[in-house]
Structure 1
Amino acid sequence: MTLDPLPLAQALIRCRSVTPADDGALAVLEAALAPLGFACHRLRFGAVENLFAIRGQGAPHLMFAGHTDVVPAGDAGWSVDPFGGEVRDGRLMGRGATDMKGGVAAWVAAVATVLDRRPGLPGMLSLLITGDEEGPAVDGTVKVLGWLAAQDLVPDCCVVGEPTSKVALGDTIKVGRRGSLNAAITVHGTQGHSAYPQRADNPVHRLVRALAALTAEPLDQGTAFFEPSTLQVTSVDVGNPATNVIPPSATARLNIRFNDRHTEASLTALLRDVLAREAPRHTLEVSCSGESFLTRPGPFVAALERAVQAECGLAPKLDTGGGTSDARFIARHCPVAELGAVGATMHQVDESTPVAELRALARLYARVIEEVQG
């Protein structure tokens, strides 16, 4: 059966699925997937509804990962109902049109196209759809992947439908992402009168020296696939209303976006080393939202490149830039890459995608399935 991605994308947009709400989005998908032979499993963790759908048997097992949750529409500025799914001047308008209800709909349409052309398609196709990608990402993809491991259903490879294209559809495939580490540093000193500094220990001076040491030199010069890692101080707080008092403590926060030359453990060790030298009396809190990952060129990436070249007529750039995505969790289990629509309007007022591009994305995804499944 053939399937136009536009009505499905409109139906999904009309679900007000702001994280972690579902508002019927997964039921819309189930209704589209069941006639294609998918067995659908609703997986609820905490307040988050997730969907895993699978058809076929044997290898290879290609999974599509995406999300139906969206960021809030905002209070004003939209020229249309952000949850209306309206088409205006050839563009599908609404929250999630780009990120990424349009991409989810395009993949389902692609599956329908492929099965119509090749009813005996080998291997397994599956979809992991979460309602927690735009939120804490605690009860979504991570938990479903654990369930898949317990069921012996871990895929051989995975396409994530994030809107990775920059100018033209297919111009960018993300084969990795930088890691992200947040740190809170509190330097402890001894409070005193600023006229008698010898009787105090100024934590601000120590904190400034530590931050200067951390930012004096680049963390690295980049790698073959990654740009240089960056360390940005995002806040320095003392909370001292007096001009003549040396405060008892001073706090700074920083964020490190790091490539595959570093890990959470190595960066934490670096911070502790500098603080031990410049500010021995300190506390350090570190949280890492994801390690860096890289899917190196090989059969899977080559299949994606062939699909883009065949359908879009261009050679895609293999990229690792941007923020984090759920691909960071999937990379622990199998090769993963991100390929999707042009993301120029994602998270913006009047988020939209051209209807022609939505249909072109469905054709590209159909080619991807055929290239990977053989």
Structure 2
Amino acid sequence: MSDLFASYVTTRDLFPDQGSITWGSVAETEALVELLGSPAREISGATVDDVSAAVMDLSGDEAIVLISQRGGWTVLFEPAPCCGFDPRALQQLSAAGAALNVSWTVNHDVWITYASGGQIVAKFDPLDLAGVQPKSGEEWLQGLPVTPSQWAADWMAACLALGEHLSSIHLDANWLRAGHQAIIIRRSPVVTTAASHLDLEDDELAAAQQDPRVAAVIAEPTTDKLPLITELIARIAVSSASLPGQALVDRTFQLIMAGHDNRSDSAEVRSQLRIWSNDLTKQANAAFASSGASGHALPGRETAHGRLLLQRAAVETLVKALTDDDPAYVAYKTASQAQATHPNTANGDAGRLRALLLAAYHIYDQG
């Protein structure tokens, strides 16, 4: 597997600045496309560059998917927006086998998700393996032929190596230049009631309903609730990491609730938060060096450097919450970052965070 990893080092530079790759053990193209949406039209001999350019001309309810098949496996490449990134799509793709997805953005946000037998096994940031969700995914990570050091050194090479290990499909420069089948699909709106569309486990739903504000959000996740969703997520992160109370934190909460049009000093607050984040990183590195431990400094509550890294993750969550972007996307990415603070399952924070994450994604998915 190390040779496979080495063959993909620097391959990241060959791919567009943002996109998504999904490996799925599904061989029937028609069934595969119907999982993602309603097929509109097909393009023959398309390359990765072709579909990346074509996405600019699509309507708001359309997406384009590049499809490559070998044996019983299919690889999908998508520019944003990414249907394969949807947890529901991955669960369906893996119903009779397995599915792996990597999605990345121009802002260097990266998420990898693995599903098997119709269930999400692990979702994680490759640079924060300890933040894998659900926590049971740690066992899957430990059993991989990809090592933590490889994820840290080149996450794309590690994921492409894992994808080839699963599918035997090699995504090199020749594959990127080759012509493949591309299909434009029309994504149908999802009509649901109550919280059924959020696909929450019973314990997660119970935790969410313990907080009246979270319960109100998941009962009717609408765009007007996005500031509240983002603030609740940020407060969970701050509490989970035991981030010291500072006026800067309170000011961040005020700006989140003020909305994008009333954030006169948000750029300055983000700048101060980044300084704080860098300072916590330096403190964590110093604490790790003085501990005499070997390997890599990992976030966690058992060590001084681990606790400092959790606090850094909370500060980074606040930075995400003040990002100037689509409010639904900001809420979703804030929730994704907040997972790195290791919210407590016993007190319900983990369940509430997942409920808020899925609510934000639902709003984003509805456009």
Max radius of gyration: which structure? 1
TM over 0.5: no
Between Structure 1 and Structure 2, the one with more strand by share is 1
Q: Structure 1 length as normaliser, TM-score?
A: 0.27
Q: Which has the higher contact order (CA 8 A, sep 6+)?
A: 1
Higher relative helix content: 2
TM-score by length of 2: 0.27
